[in-house]
Each structure stands twice: as structure tokens, then as C-alpha cells.
Amino acid sequence: MLVLVVNCGSSSLKYQVRELEAGADGGTVLASGLIENIGSSRIADHTQALELLAERLEAELEGRTIDAAGHRVVHGGERFSAPVLATNEIIRDIERLVPLAPLHNPAAVLGLRAVQKTWPHLPQICVFDTAFHRTMPEHVWRYAVPEEFYERWGIRRYGFHGTSHDWVTGQAAQFLGVPRERFSCVVAHLGNGASVTAVKDGASYDTSMGYTPLAGLVMGTRTGDLDPSVVTAVLRRDPGMTPERLDAVLNKESGLRAIAGDHDMRAVQEAADRGDERAELALEMAAHRLVKYVGGYHVAVDGAQALVFTAGIGENASAFRARVCGRLGALGVVLDDDANAARSREVRRISAPGSALEVLVVPTDEEQAIAAATAALVAAGTSPA
């Protein structure tokens, strides 16, 4: 089966084509690429981008045809707890969730409709970033705010990066030889956007991101957890500050960028190594926030069996991993310095013998996860929602 994996942005379309054999997790990548500047004079809209993609694939696949398309959809709200076959009604449901993800869900809808127009009979599967976290119990996802906030506006904790957290959990359990349904761990997805999830018995129990991806860890350009009164104080004290401007500040001008002057962890680490005090402060803040979550989530799942690092920073920033693990001695974490320093694209253990928690690095692959979910759903001929 050939699966086209589609990740649509407002002005871009990232894609992969994977070939999957029966029972395979994610198959082999046959083609991949990025189409940018959608909405320009060169590429008017997503439909035209898909027509360009179809031409590319005809050449790259040498006449072979796509069997299904899998789409990354950021927000499934409370409606979607699993991948689902896209129908006109499902696409309308995703549109209804636009207020919860105004930057992302509109692009997903455009991508779904563009594929529908280009390949009318192609099955399309939606895989939701929020779906993995639908297993969180109500006492975890609820906010202590008036009931109408939830009933009228859907204000609750949703969580994000679920496709990655789900995939990495399965890979970690398999690596350790533990049945997933008996596996509890803490997964730290650390990239420019970062989140940490408490996994209990193979399912999401709690996660650091909330109503939006702004909550939780200190990120590249996002604040992470913040006293809500900071927002009201700034709005009251600065007459020129609008909600839209403040939202941009908190999401795009904060985090590592605000403290160290750069959102790239590699640049911040290099600056800290040169003695830059602001860079060192930024790293200390980010590590401290993560350590607090790891400790709390270890307790929340009644004792995690592993701490798992993934995504760009989690997989590659050995110095930051060491900084974090060096503060987890109270949990019995002991790092193997040589294993931590080694680079690999394979799942690997970086904890020392005798460490109370296994510490793993598990490369994430959201495209592979989406392809596997798409192939499984199409093969089964069903589409649970």
C-alpha cells in the first residue's frame, strides 16, 4: 500500500509517500518534500499545490498510484479520540473546531478538500494530535473555572503532540520488552515546541500543554506555565497592548528567545559554554521546569518505569539531557555519560546499570505514525471516531 502523508500549513504543504507491507509499522519512504508560498502568484491555493504535488508524484513514483492519504490534524477537540475516515461531515466537524486551533485546523481543512478534489476516490484518514490525550481523566483535564467557560467555549486541557507521544510510548515499551498496557513512563517531547506527558498503563494520563500549546515547559519562543494575572496586569498597564499583540508576545517572543536572545537550543548551549550568563539562565529555567514535571508525573502514574526523551532537542541535545537527569537523583536516575554522548537514530538506553528509572532516547516519527494509522484503518475498512 502506498500512503501519502500530508501536513498542511496555511502557506505550505509538507508531504511523504510511504510504502507499507502488511503488518509493517511505517514502511519505506519513497518520496518526500515541501511545497511553500501557497497563496502567492505562483501557487494560488492548496488545490493548485496538490495539482503540483500530483505531477511530482507521477514522476517520482514512476506511474504507481497512491492508495490512501493520511492527514495530520492538530485539534480534534472532544469529538475525536482516534483516527477517522474523512467524509464531508467529518471535514465540517473539523471546521467547527477552528476556534480551538485557528492557525492550524483551517489549513488541514484546505488540505483535505484539495486532496478530495485532486483524487476524488482516494480514502483520506485524519490523525489528530489531541486524540492520544482523550484518555486523561476529568479531574486532570478540567480547569477550576466557572462551568460556563467549559460549556460555552470548551475551555479545558486538551494537550498536543499526541501523535508523537503515542508513537514513542509504543516504541519504548517494545524496546524494554514490556507489554504496553502495563507500561508507565514520562515522555519528554522537546523541540522548539515542547511538552511532557505522563503515560499510565500505555495511555495518556496527564500532559503539560493545556487549552493551547502555550502551557507547560519553557520552549523556544513560548512562555510555558505563567500566572494568568500577568496577562491581565500587562493589558491593564499598557494601553497600547491588545490581546492579539500579547498573544503573539507570549507565543513567539518569549521562552528561550526572551531570556537568551535565541530560540535555537544549539545556539543557547553554545553561548552558555562560552560563559554567557543569560544563556545559562535560560537553560537552568528550562531544565528546572522539566524536572518539576518529571517528578510530579512520576508520582502521578504510581511510579514510572522510564523517562523517555524525543524530538529535536530530546534526541540530540546530550548536554541538556545530562543537565536534567543530573537533578533527578532523588528518583534514583543515573546517567551513562558515554551512552548519553553517543549519537544514533536508533532507540537507545542512556541510563547506567542500577538506575532506578530507565532513561531512553526514542526518535519520534510522526509521519510514520500517521502512515501506519492510515494503512491500518483503510485495511480494516472501518473508521472509529
Instruction: Clarify whether 129 is annotated catalytic.
Output: yes
Same domain for 113 and 191, yes or no, is: no
Res 39: pLDDT: 84
Q: Is residue 199 part of a domain?
A: yes
In this predicted structure, the answer to whether residue 126 has a pLDDT above a threshold of 80 is yes
For the segment 293-317, the average pLDDT, to the nearest whole number, is 97
Query: Looking at residues 296-316, what average pLDDT do you find?
Result: 97
Cα–Cα distance for residue pair 347/290, rounded to 1 Å: 21
Query: Shortest CA distance to 332 belongs to which of 356, 316, 313, 310?
Result: 356
Catalytic residue among 129, 166, 206, 365: 129
Residue 143 forms part of a structural domain: no
Say whether both 219 and 296 belong to one domain: yes
Q: List the binding residues for Mg(2+).
A: 7, 366
Of 95, 205, 226, 211, which is closest to residue 154 (Cα–Cα)? 211
Tally Cβ neighbours within 10 Å of residue 84. Answer: 24
Instruction: Taking residues 140-160, report their average pLDDT.
Output: 96
**Domain match, 348 and 260 both:** yes
Q: Compute the CA torsion angle 238, 103, 198, 142 (nearest 10 deg).
A: 70
- The mean pLDDT of 155-181, rounded to a whole number, is 96
CA distance 312 to 324: 16
pLDDT attached to residue 12:
83
In a domain, 385, yes or no: no
Q: What percent of the chain has pLDDT over 90?
A: 75
Are residues 86 and 8 part of one domain? Answer: yes
Report the number of distinct structural domains present in the chain: 2
Q: Is residue 377 part of a domain?
A: no
- pLDDT score, position 383: 47
Residues within the annotated binding site for ATP?
14, 189-193, 264-266, 312-316
Please, are residues 359 and 187 in contact by the beta-carbon 8 Å criterion? no
What pLDDT, on a 0 to 100 scale, did the predictor assign at position 138? 97
Q: For residue 286, is pLDDT > 80?
A: yes
**pLDDT per position as a tens digit, 3-38:** 999 888 778 888 999 998 765 566 789 989 989 888
Predicted pLDDT at 197? 98
Asked if residue 300 has pLDDT above 80, the reply is yes
CATH value at residue 81: 3.30.420.40
Distances (CA, A) of 286 to 72, 181, 218, 223, 299: 28, 31, 5, 10, 21
Average pLDDT for 370-374: 92
- Does residue 124 sit within a domain? yes
CA distance 19 to 36: 25
The pLDDT, as a whole number, for residue 382 is 56
| Amino acid occupying residue 29 | V
For the chain, the C-alpha Rg in angstroms (whole number) is 21
User: Domain range holding 19?
Assistant: 2-128
Q: Does 374 have pLDDT greater than 70? A: yes
Does one domain contain both 105 and 192? no
What average pLDDT does this structure show over 109-122?
A: 89
- Count CB-CB contacts under 10 A for residue 191: 18
Span 81-103, pLDDT tens digits:
999 999 999 999 999 988 888 87
Quick one: what percent of the chain has pLDDT higher than 70? 98
For residue 2, what pLDDT is reported?
92
In the predicted structure, residue 353 carries a pLDDT above the cut 80: yes
Report if residue 147 sits inside a domain: no
pLDDT score for 40: 82
Q: Are residues 190 and 313 in the same domain?
A: yes
Kindly report the average pLDDT of the chain as a whole number: 92
Which residues, 6+ apart, have CB-to-CB distance to 328 below 8 Å?
A: 291, 294, 295, 307, 357
Q: Per-residue pLDDT for 333 more than 60? A: yes
Tell me, what amino acid is at 105? Answer: N
Binding-site annotation: residue ranges: 7, 14, 72, 189-193, 264-266, 312-316, 366
Q: What is the 3-state secondary structure (H, E, C) of the chain?
A: CEEEEEEECCCCEEEEEEECCCCCCCCEEEEEEEECCECCCCECCHHHHHHHHHHHHHHHCCCCCCCEEEEEECCCCCCCCCCEECCHHHHHHHHHCHHHCCCCHHHHHHHHHHHHHHCCCCCEEEEECCHHHHHCCHHHHCCCCCHHHHHHHCCCCCCCCHHHHHHHHHHHHHHHCCCHHHCCEEEEEECCCEEEEEEECCEEEEECCCCCCCCCCCCCCCCCCCCHHHHHHHHHHCCCCCHHHHHHHHHHCCHHHHHHCCCCHHHHHHHHHCCCHHHHHHHHHHHHHHHHHHHHHHHHCCCCCEEEEEHHHHHHCHHHHHHHHCCCHHHCCCECHHHHHCCCCCCEECECCCCCCEEEECCCCHHHHHHHHHHHHHHHCCCCC
* Residue 201 maps to a domain: yes
Q: What is the pLDDT of residue 133?
A: 97
354 and 289 in a common domain: yes
CA 252, CA 258: separation in Å to the nearest integer? 9
Among residues 197, 243, 247, the alpha carbon closest in space to that of 221 is found at 247
Question: In this predicted model, what pLDDT tens digit does every residue of 173-221 receive, in sequence order?
Answer: 999 999 999 999 999 999 999 999 999 999 999 999 999 999 999 999 9
**Looking at 67, 94, 128, which one is the last position of a domain?**
128
Provide the Cα torsion 78, 80, 81, 84; round to 10°. Answer: 180
**Residue 258 maps to a domain:** yes
Which single residue is written with the C-alpha cell 496577562?
231
